[in-house]
């Protein structure tokens, strides 16, 4: 027991010490919190009622660049695709045995990777045996053709001539016998006339003449049969044998040719297992990832490659481009031919900024990820002018697309603009006081906005008008219910267009002409479609000032719907503004949101 107590005593001492430290730390924290709270209360009381002065910025006039800034990836506009030329075996592919490292600079003819050719080697061995057998069969068939030709020659020059000569001899003998019988009959007839021979002997001589005649006729008939029938029959048979042998020879030769082609194909497939570079370039793996973990392909030893599957890319370094994905809210601003400045962080110095131009704007959105948002993105391709050798495929680049370049324009910071009910204001320093001025906006970028009216150069505007609302005098702006205007425009659309748009909106036209879905809110997409069906006379997908001039309310709100200030309203702009206003309660937007990043009420 004493040993047990002595062994536990240090442990209890350590536990007690830990508790003391914990209580001290807790007490320190409580005291610190209390002290900070007291200091805050004293500071608050000291500065209570004191409002800081607004930060000011001078209105300047100068060059203005309306840009769209997007991140992209450098790639080559011309890639030599290196594909697998080995035919697939079943549902699997051909394994990769070894592969050159990605990024390696190769020359034309250098080996990029080696595919497994063991199965093809065995096929070639078996095919060589088949080819040898086919060659033996062709030799036998050639012998049969020669044999059939010799048999015909043998019959015509041997058997036929022998039989014919034998019959000719028989005819000659028969003719001689007939002649002797006829002479004997004539002699007998003379003797009978003298009374020397009896009538019975005369009959015997007559029978001898008849018998000799029959023998001659028989020999001549056999000659006719030999020449006209037997010979023709034998020739038909012999010719048939020759043709049959020739046909078999041709078939065997075709078989041999096909088997040789198979062997040659297998040999070419074996050669194709060694994949060579078709041109000079830098090796880039054609890896593919599905985003869900299935169907991925990574170029590495052991990976299975299908027939005609791209394994490598050899980009042309002289034709480099940037592929950037632009949000749907800004894609309408971009068009082919716009100038671009490109910054590549991977390279430094003066070469960091490159020049380019937009060469292509995709009309269809990029495939979205299953984890992504509903916002669509469109690919924009920017050609790099005089690409330096230091840039590589896959590098990240920032593309600054110059949508609009104004040589001289009044400019104020974006944060100096205050929006109320789709009207824009700035707070201007006026001597010792302040004045509120409504402005008309032009183009914008991420920092500045151009002003068409409402301010003059060297005016001092507040950068944070939202924080100094007490100094502003916002006029009373009447509410505008856009739903009535839109419903009126939709009601004026052709019946077919209204029906189609109602279907698109998911409901039938309501009593006011607006598509509804069982008493729910109006569908902005459907209403926009009806408006375009009614006013878009040239069906180009855009509304101009001339096209909306017939509708007074639409013409009056043209600048508000033309958010990108390109002089026309597309369906996306119209739908976005309608959706924004409807979400704000259907009115003019009493401080519902800010345009171009400006603060709102």
Confidence (pLDDT) at 566? 81
What's the CATH architecture for 55-78+317-479+592-601?
Beta Barrel (2.40)
Closest CA to 288 of 306, 272, 276: 306
pLDDT, one tens digit per residue, over 524-546 is 777 777 787 778 777 777 888 88
Confidence (pLDDT) at 341? 92
pLDDT classification of 145: cutoffs 50, 70, 90: very high
Closest CA to 279 of 101, 79, 75, 85: 79
State how far the Cα of 541 lies from the Cα of 538, in Å rounded to an integer: 8
Bigger pLDDT: 103 or 362? Answer: 362
Domain limits of the chain? 1-32, 55-78+317-479+592-601, 79-91+99-108+280-310, 120-272, 482-585
Confidence (pLDDT) at 338? 93
Give 120-272's CATH code, choosing from 1.10.3470, 1.20.1630, 3.30.70, 1.10.287: 1.10.287
- CATH for 482-585 is 1.10.238.10
Bigger pLDDT: 474 or 23? Answer: 474
Q: Is the pTM higher than 0.85? A: no
The lowest-confidence range among 113-122, 346-355, 445-454 is: 346-355
What are the structure tokens assigned to 592, written together?
């519902």
Helix, coil or strand: residue 430 = strand
| Residue 586: CA count within 13 A, CB half-sphere | 9
* Helix%, strand%, coil% for the chain, nearest 5: 45, 25, 30
State how far the Cα of 252 lies from the Cα of 248, in Å rounded to an integer: 6
State how far the Cα of 512 lies from the Cα of 498, in Å rounded to an integer: 12
Q: Are 344 and 364 in contact (CB under 8 A)?
A: no
pLDDT classification of 510: cutoffs 50, 70, 90: very low
pLDDT, one tens digit per residue, over 214-256 is 999 999 999 999 999 999 999 999 999 999 999 999 999 999 9
Distances (CA, A) of 128 to 9, 137, 374: 91, 14, 60
Closest CA to 275 of 94, 51, 415: 94
Bigger pLDDT: 199 or 428? Answer: 428
Mean pLDDT of 569-579: 82
Return all residues near 575 (Cβ < 8 A) that are at least 6 apart: 524, 525, 528
Confidence (pLDDT) at 190? 84
Q: Are 82 and 461 in contact (CB under 8 A)?
A: no
């Amino acid at each position: 027991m004493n040993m047990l107590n002595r062994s536990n005593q240090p442990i209890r001492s350590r536990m007690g010490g830990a508790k003391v430290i914990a209580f001290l730390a807790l007490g320190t924290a409580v005291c610190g919190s209390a002290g900070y709270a007291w200091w805050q209360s004293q500071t608050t009381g000291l500065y209570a009622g004191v409002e800081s002065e607004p930060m000011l910025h001078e209105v300047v006039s100068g060059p203005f660049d309306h840009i769209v800034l997007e991140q992209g990836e450098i790639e080559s506009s011309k890639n030599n695709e290196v594909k697998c030329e080995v035919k697939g075996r079943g549902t699997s592919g051909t394994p990769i045995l070894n592969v050159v490292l990605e990024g390696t600079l190769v020359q034309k003819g250098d080996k990029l990777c080696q595919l497994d050719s063991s199965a093809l080697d065995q096929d070639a061995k078996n095919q060589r045996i088949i080819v040898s057998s086919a060659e033996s069969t062709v030799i036998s068939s050639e012998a049969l053709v020669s044999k059939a030709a010799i048999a015909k020659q043998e019959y015509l020059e041997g058997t036929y001539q022998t039989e014919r000569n034998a019959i000719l001899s028989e005819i000659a003998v028969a003719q001689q016998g007939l002649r002797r019988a006829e002479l004997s009959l004539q002699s007998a007839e003379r003797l009978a006339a003298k009374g020397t021979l009896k009538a019975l002997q005369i009959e015997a001589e007559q029978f001898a003449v008849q018998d000799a005649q029959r023998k001659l006729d028989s020999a001549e008939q056999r000659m006719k049969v030999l020449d006209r029938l037997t010979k023709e029959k034998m020739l038909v048979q012999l010719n048939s044998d020759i043709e049959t042998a020739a046909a078999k020879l041709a078939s065997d030769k075709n078989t041999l040719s096909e088997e040789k082609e198979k062997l040659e194909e297998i040999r070419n497939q074996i050669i194709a297992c060694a994949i060579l570079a078709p041109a000079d370039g830098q090796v880039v793996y054609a890896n593919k990832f599905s985003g869900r973990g299935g169907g991925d392909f990574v170029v590495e030893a052991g990976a299975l490659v299908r027939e005609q599957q791209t394994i490598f890319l050899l980009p042309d370094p002289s034709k480099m481009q940037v592929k950037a994905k632009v949000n749907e809210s800004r894609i309408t601003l971009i068009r082919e031919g716009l100038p671009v400045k490109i910054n590549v962080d991977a390279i430094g110095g003066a070469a960091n900024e490159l020049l380019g131009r937009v060469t292509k704007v995709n009309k269809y959105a990029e495939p979205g990820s299953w984890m992504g948002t509903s916002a669509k993105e469109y690919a924009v391709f920017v050609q790099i002018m005089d690409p330096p050798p230091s840039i590589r495929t896959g590098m990240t680049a920032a593309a600054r697309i110059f949508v609009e370049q104004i040589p001289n324009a009044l400019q104020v910071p974006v944060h100096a603009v205050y929006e109320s009910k789709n009207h824009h204001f700035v707070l201007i320093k006026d001597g010792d006081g302040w004045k509120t001025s409504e402005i008309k906006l032009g183009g914008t970028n991420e920092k500045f906005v151009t002003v068409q009216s409402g301010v003059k150069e060297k005016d001092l505007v507040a950068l944070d008008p939202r924080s100094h609302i007490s100094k502003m005098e916002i006029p009373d702006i009447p509410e505008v219910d856009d739903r009535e205007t839109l419903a009126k425009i939709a009601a004026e659309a052709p019946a077919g267009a209204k029906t189609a748009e109602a279907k698109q909106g998911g409901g039938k036209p309501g009593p006011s002409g607006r598509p509804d879905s069982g008493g729910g809110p109006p569908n902005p997409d459907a209403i926009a479609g009806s408006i375009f069906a009614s006013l878009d006379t040239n069906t180009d997908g855009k509304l101009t000032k001339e096209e909306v001039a017939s509708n007074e309310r639409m013409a009056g709100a043209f600048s508000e719907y033309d958010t990108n200030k390109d002089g026309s309203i597309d369906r996306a702009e119209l739908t976005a503004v309608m959706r924004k206003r409807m979400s704000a309660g259907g009115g003019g937007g009493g401080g519902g949101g800010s345009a171009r990043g400006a603060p709102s009420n």
